Amino acid sequence: MRYFIELSYKGTNYHGWQIQPDAISVQEEIHKAISTILQHEIKLVGAGRTDKGVHAIQMIAHFDTCSILSDEYVHKFNSILPNDIIINSIEKVSKNTHARFDAITRSYEYRILMQKNAFLLDTTWQLHQKKFDVDKMNIAAKLLCEYQDFESFSKVKTNVKSFDCKIMKAEWTLEDQHLTFHITANRFLRNMVRAIVGTLVEVGTGKKTVEDFKKIIESKKRSEAGASVPARGLFLTEVTYDLST
């Protein structure tokens, strides 16, 4: 039987989602916990990968087991997981349902705090000396929905067959001193969100214009875009599926 788990984690102490030979990862911790409780090895497949220091409000993963799992296993798994990784729910799905390939959309937030706050150092990029033109940042962000090829914002030398993504939402919101970028797409390239944010920040601070941002997208050159922003402000917030079929 195949099960989906919905989970959350603070990525500060991990070298990303994916299991690595000589570094601690979120996937490894969950794999160990579930395998220990079920008393057999499982293969855990996530909806995607997050880089070192990136967080998740909602990540989805699947695994197969012959055991019949009820809601009480949420508590059992969490009892031996680190405190910064939490499984929120377990759901039985069809055998062919795939956490990665069947995902319809993925959403991220990038959080900038425009003041110093010692308690949010791990979860925000703090730019307390910066002022932003949020209106221009939103005008530029809307352009993302008009394009498909985002090679300009992809990590170089990455092993992908296509740089095409369908972005459905890209906008900034400002509440008090919290400036947040929201983006939803069918897929994302490696480092894509952090590179987009870094470039939009340059629009917001006047280093680049909206027209510059458009030209950067069309150039398909990573060297034309802005620097990638720190991982600590990035959150995977939602992964959606159509499980009715």
Active-site annotation, residues: 51
**DSSP helix/strand/coil, 162:** coil
| Alpha carbons 77 and 65: distance in angstroms, whole number | 14
Beta strands of 187-233 (E only): which ranges? Answer: none
**Taking the mean position of all CA atoms in its chain, how far away is CA 122?**
15
What's the rounded Cα separation, in Å, for the pair 5 and 10?
A: 17
Residue 224: name the closest of 153, 135, 164 by CA.
153
Q: Using only C-alpha atoms, what is the Rg of the chain?
A: 19
- In the block, which residue shows the tokens 């197969």? 64
Instruction: Decide if 122 contacts 189 (C-beta within 8 A).
Output: no
